[in-house]
Structure 1
Amino acid sequence: MRLIRNFVTVVVVITIAIVGLKLAFPLPEKNFSEQTLKKDADWTGPLGETIQIAIERNPGLDGVRPLGNGRAAFAARAILVREARSSIDAQYYIWQDDVTGLMLLDELRAAAERGVRVRLLVDDNGISGMDDLLAELNALPNAHVRIFNPFTLRNPKLLSYAFDFNRLNRRMHNKSMTVDGVATIVGGRNIGDIYFDYGAGTHYLDVDTIAIGPIVDEVSQSFDAYWNSASSYDAALFLEPSSEKSLQLKADAAPKTAVGAGYQKAIQYSELADRIAAHNLKFEWSEVTLFVDDPAKGLGEANSEDLIVEQLIKFANGSRTSLDLVSAYFIPGQRGAEVLEGLAEAGVKVRVLTNSLDATDVMPVHAAYMGYRDDLLNSGVELLELRALRQEHRERSLPEMLAGSASGLHAKVFGSDEERIFVGSYNLDPRSARLNTEMGLLIESPTIAASLAQELDRPEFSYRVELNEDGEMIWLQEEQDGTITVHAADPETSGLQRALTAVVRWLPVEWML
């Protein structure tokens, strides 16, 4: 009886504590002081003039320029911000307090100080250590910062999950930056050194694309919907005004580091800047469609038929000859597995590239994926798992980036029939499907889609997972010279690592991964 009483007492105390925290740290009654909307496209500056010339030569089409190389992706953002004349709208899941994060945040500061309206929407789960810097930016007359699904308890933030889990478990995973209403960057990259692939240490393979044309206005309208949504709050409601002016000081120091100097050179010698100045931007011209979740998904209130997952299932089911999927975190779920297995059994060449156990940065995701491998392989789906190549790489093209990483895969790129390709933030997992908001661009481009297919044909950056004659799983490691090594267990992993993964596989957490 004493044990039962003690248990009940503990439960009551915890319940009272949770209720007390919820009452002590409520959401503000009002999200923001006023709604704001996108500005009209500004064609007056060098960027606008150059893009307008290109669009007039390709009426009705959208121009895309893939960004596979990390330094080029960083430089593109910095250059577009520097070219901005009237507006910058950016939304990101993660913005890190590191070299590239500081440099790009300072570019936004400089733009705001020269009169550009800056709107920055960030997810509160991805701005650890950034409160003071974001408050400093937000204090500028032309800069406005909003936070998506904010943590009302700022320190320790994670304690907020105890009393507001259902809301805080839903995050804004979107990534876009739109300048002057004439150019946008959409894809899988967050803002931080690990996403821009340079210097020593761990990197992510990632992909995004610059886009111009009618699609830019659609991205701007989507940004407005998120900016003015019920999940977005003025940063000033949560961030204390910063008495220190540290942003510019920290940003000035960043390029002087060894890593920062490399990023500074990437801006200085960027082909993009030269082509803007010469009014000679090069793009792949095609039809582009924006896939984006209703921001109401951030509160669990979006209609199921309006979710990206439904659009991507239609995209996959439309494949006639081939479907190539590159996803850092791959948990197809029952419905997704049925789609892929059905396509493979119908004769469509289905290939999936995801992280190997050694390369992944989220082991529980890999553990959940393991439960689908046998059935996928038996149906004819080809599984490729990226090797964790940790040595520093030379500069890489988009196709090479898709197939080779300095550490782990982070890209989300899907190609169909070597004719269409989706580049975005969407992982093939339950979290992207039902919990996080996502976005991406569907590009009708045989050139870009075929480059993905051709790169997946190259064996040297991944393991091919197969079942041997006894039905046992094996990993084939093929080198450029044709040498093949057969592994009987997840390559480059220890027995303990594999055992822990097997244990996690049986935990009932797949729905939130």
Structure 2
Amino acid sequence: MLALMLLALVGCGRLPVKQLDEAERLAGQARPEMVECARDDACAIDSALYALGEQALAEATAEAPVHRVLLLEGGEDALLARIHLIRSARRSIELQSFIFAEDDAGFFVLGELLDAARRGVRVRVLLDQLFSVDDTRLLAALATAHANFELRMYNPTFGKASTGPLEFGAGILCCFRRFNQRMHTKLLLVDGLIGITGGRNYQNRYFDWDSGYNYRDRDILVAGPVGAKMRAGFELFWTHERSVPVARLNDVAAHLLAHGGPPPLLPAPRLTRAGRILRISQAASDPEVVQARLIAPSLAVGRVDYYVDPPQKHERGRDPLYEEISHRLQSLVAGAEHSVVLQTPYLVLSREARQTFRALRRRENAPEVLVSTNSLAATDAWPVYALSHKYKRSYLRDLGFDIREYKPFPADAPIDLAATGALDAEVAPSGVPLTDAPTAFGSGARGGSGATGSGSGSMRDGPLPLRRAGVRVGLHAKSIVIDGRVGIVGTHNFDPRSDHYNTENAVIVHDAAFAAALERVIRHDARPENAWLIARRPKPPVLSGLDYSIGKAFEKLPLFDLWPLRYATSYELVEGCPPVRPEHPRFAECWTPAGDFPEVDLRLKGFYTRLVTAFGAGLAPIL
């Protein structure tokens, strides 16, 4: 009954096909066609980075491919690269994203895309609808911005741009599978020549621009012949029936029909710190900055593969090979000989992934498996962490993982503290002055709203409450290094959701120098100053075998996993001690237990986490 009532309510917003056709016609008529540049290159900026891509393409052959690749570890470098590439585009730009926020970073990139369209570049933007722009007035204006600018939404809930609480609930109740089939694919591609993909969406916290919580993320920039495969992958989505032109979304179409077309002007962007936009804007067109930050650190490599899950992954009765990324990654891991270095924000493995790692563990000379992931204090998704917590014993003993959980205030993270705005004497978006500015992570910076919590001083405005305030960092990078010879950067979280619900994409670089560079940064994130070691907790003085057996039995239960003494806990390195492994005789001397959930205010999230651990195993594929 509830599902029927919700469907009836949300169904009231659906427009007849004739009205959607009329809205699309109005939008098409309103789009200006005049371009601001008559040159063949659309007045693109001179770019040495673009020239490297052209050189790679010219030198490459089918037997001996040539590419240029660059790891984008810092948030502002990742934004700088995007702006520079958009300005260097001569013919086309394709952008795909899971999230596109209406904040400083989002409006900055959007403005650059519109400028490119007006100077003569064909710009196509495809966004997953659920967590992207949902301002109907803004979307109506974008639907009519320029003939060279096209915007589509993937899998819109009930055919709308905005998903309110009713639509969200109805989507879960009536259309659970369809509602969860999200386009997690991320790509920026310029002229089919240079592409960027990886973990980053378009939102302040992915580019070091949030004053309270930022992602330690990673992208890869790749230039060369693999760009043709990237464009082919984009076309699969762009032409699919789930990709809906924004003028045909019910709420946007209603706005266009009600006003006889678009609003006269684009709504003014809501910016919080325009100064940093100007700074990156200037740097993006500075040849010396581009040389130092984007060209000098890049590597010349040979073979680069690009794989993408097509939209057909979401169709019932599909060929299992449509789960392209998952099969490729499992095959590469299965072929590892001495090491697998894995970085994922969400350590919840699918059944197939468990089988792959279990087979590795059973080998006579089992490869090392280092896993860099989030702690509860650092994650943006504590229910997911709760399921990871549930299976720690299995990960450590059965699969042989060496697990390092990222700290919310790492000693050495590639986050530019000054860029976050927490040091500025400005006003935060809430209007509360940012005072008590920190000099380092976790030393007194205010949260996202500029206010601290009450009582014990816990911060209440971030993803979860902590015992102290500060500019926090959460891991969001998704990468694998196999045997120091193959490096993988992409969007796949190596979890059941990425395996079965989301579409994903990944770049696989077959080059030892690149793999070594990627492994080096992941192992740096796993160092004791940046991450807690996860290992078996000290054995109880009596009945340790019984405790282990009961805990193992409870772990198998999908419900009522209530045994309070978990197998594993977090450890902090004692100052002056070497970071020895758990099997080393000096382990107890050099590592001290830090508790199950270090830094977390246990009054709330610790309780919730234990609750999901006890009752939420069935949610693993969705979370």
TM score, norm. by length of structure 1? 0.85
Deviations 1:193-228 (Å, cap 9, x if unpaired)? 100124632100111111111110000000001000
* Equivalent in 51, 54, 71 of residue 52 of structure 1: 54
Contact 1:343–1:350 (Cα < 8 Å) also in 2:
no
Once residues 338 and 442 of structure 1 are traced to their aligned partners in structure 2, the CA distance between those partners, rounded to angstroms, is 22
Instruction: State the match for 2:401 in structure 1.
Output: 381
1:191 equivalent among 179, 202, 219: 202
Tell me the equivalent position of 2:151: 145
Quote the offset at 1:189 in angstroms. Answer: 0.6
Partner Cα separation in structure 1 for residue 284 and residue 392 of structure 2: 43
Task: Report how far residue 384 of structure 1 moved.
Answer: 1.0
Report the alpha carbon displacement of residue 478 of structure 1 after superposing the two structures with TM. 2.5
Does the CA contact (< 8 Å) of 1:199 and 1:392 recur in 2?
no
Where in structure 2 are the equivalents of 1:407-422 lying within 5 Å? 407-422=473-488
1:213 aligns with 2:321: no
User: Post-superposition shift, 1:351?
Assistant: 1.3
Match of 1:489 among 588, 596, 599: 596
Shift of 1:282: 4.3
Q: What residue number does 1:37 align with? A: none
Contact 1:76 1:272 in 2 (8 A): no
Q: Secondary structure at the match of 2:100?
A: coil
Determine helix, strand or coil for the equivalent of 2:621.
Answer: helix
Q: 1:489 to 1:311 in 2, by over 3 A?
A: same
**Amino acid in structure 1 at the alignment position of 2:611:** V
Counterparts of 1:112 and 1:369 in 2: how far apart (Å)?
45
Pair 302,479 (structure 1): closer, same or farther in 2 beyond 3 Å? farther
* Equivalent residue for 2:378, pick from 334, 351, 359: 359
Residue 336 of structure 1 and its aligned partner are, at CA, apart by: 1.8
Deviation at 1:143, TM superposition (A): 0.4
Letter in 2 for 1:53: Q
Q: Residue type of the partner of 1:487? A: A
**What is the correspondence of 1:41-440 to structure 2 with a 5 Å cutoff?**
46-47=46-47, 48-57=50-59, 59=61, 60-139=65-144, 140-151=146-157, 152-154=159-161, 156-161=163-168, 162=170, 163-198=174-209, 200-238=211-249, 239=252, 240-241=255-256, 242-246=262-266, 249-250=268-269, 256-257=274-275, 259-264=276-281, 266-267=283-284, 273-274=290-291, 282-300=298-316, 302-307=318-323, 308-346=325-363, 347-379=366-398, 380-389=400-409, 406-440=472-506
**Equivalent AA in structure 2 for residue 500 of structure 1:** Y
Shift of 1:114: 0.8
Match of 1:512 in 2: 622
| Amino acid in structure 1 at the alignment position of 2:307 | F
Q: 1:165, CA displacement in angstroms?
A: 3.4
Report how far residue 270 of structure 1 moved.
7.0
Amino acid at match of 2:299: F
CA contact (8 A) 2:53 2:67 kept: no
How far 1:160 moved relative to its partner? Answer: 2.8
Query: Which letter does structure 2 place at the counterpart of 1:504?
Result: V
Distance 2:310 2:414 in 1: 39
1:26: how far off?
Answer: 7.4
Distance 1:124 1:199 in 2: 23
Letter aligned with residue 230 of structure 1: E
Inter-CA distance 342–272: structure 2 relative to 1 (3 Å threshold): farther
The C-alpha deviation readout for 1:353-382, integer Å capped at 9, x for no partner, is 110011111111111112221011113211
Aligned equivalents of 1:358 and 1:137: distance in 2?
39
CA positional deviation for 1:276: 12
Q: Decide whether aligned partners of structure 1 residues 108 and 275 sit closer, same or farther in structure 2, where only a CA change above 3 A counts.
A: same
1:500 equivalenced with 2:605 (yes/no)? no
Distance in 1, matches of 2:326 and 2:382, equals 23
More helix per residue:
1
Report the Cα distance in structure 1 between the residues aligned to 2:177 and 2:406, rounded to whole angstroms. Answer: 33
Structure 1 CA distance, aligned partners of 2:511 and 2:575? 29
Asked whether the 8 Å contact 2:313–2:322 carries over to 1, the reply is no
The 8 Å contact of residues 290 and 441 in structure 1, kept in 2 or not, is answered as: yes
Give the superposition deviation at 1:486. Answer: 2.2
Runs of 5+ consecutive residues of structure 2 not aligned to the other structure: 29-39, 257-261, 417-441, 443-470, 540-547, 549-566, 578-589
Distance change in 2, residues 1:216/1:301 (3 Å): farther
d(CA) in 2 for partners of 1:291, 1:310: 11
SS of 1:448's equivalent? Answer: helix
The letter of the residue matching 1:355 is N
**3-state SS of 1:408 partner:** strand
- After superposition, the Cα gap between the structure-2 partners of 1:138 and 1:281, relative to the gap in structure 1 and judged at 3 Å, is farther
Confirm or deny: 8 A CA contact 2:97 2:185 kept in the other structure: yes
Amino acid across the alignment from 2:149: A
Amino acid at match of 2:156: P
Output the amino acid matched with 1:327: T
SS of equivalent residue, structure 1 residue 124: strand
Separation in 1 of the partners of 2:414 and 2:76? 11
- Describe the shift of the 1:105–1:50 C-alpha distance in structure 2 as closer, same or farther (beyond 3 A): same
Check whether the contact 2:574–2:591 (CA below 8 A) recurs between aligned residues: yes
Deviation by residue 1:89-115 (Cα, 9 ceiling, x = unmatched): 111010111111101000001011111
What is the identity, as a one-letter code, of the residue corresponding to 1:226? Answer: F
Comparing 72-81 with 383-392, which one deviates more in the overlay? 383-392
CA distance in 2, matches of 1:198, 1:18: 39
1:474 aligns with 2:593: no
2:468 is equivalent to residue 461 of structure 1: no
| Per-residue deviation, residues 166-199 of structure 1 (Å, max 9, x unmatched) | 3221110011011112111111110111001246
Q: Separation in 1 of the partners of 2:488 and 2:287?
A: 26
CA distance in 2, matches of 1:364, 1:493: 14
- Paired with 1:107 and 1:222, the residues of 2 have a C-alpha distance of 23
TM-score (norm 2): 0.71
The offset of 1:53, in angstroms, is 2.4
**Cα deviation code 1:321-379 (max 9, x no counterpart):** 00111001121033322322331342110111110011111111111112221011113
Give me the identity figure in percent. Answer: 26
Partner of 1:8: none
State the secondary structure of the residue aligned to 2:127: strand
8 Å contact kept, 2:77–2:293? no
Which residue type is aligned with residue 363 of structure 1?
W
Unaligned runs of 5+ in 1: 1-10, 35-40, 397-403
Residues 434-475 of structure 1 show CA distances to partners (whole Å, capped at 9, x for unaligned) of: 011111111112223223433426322111100145264231
Partner residue of 2:436? none
Conserved 8 A contact 1:93-1:174: yes
Q: Offset of 1:245 from its aligned partner?
A: 2.0
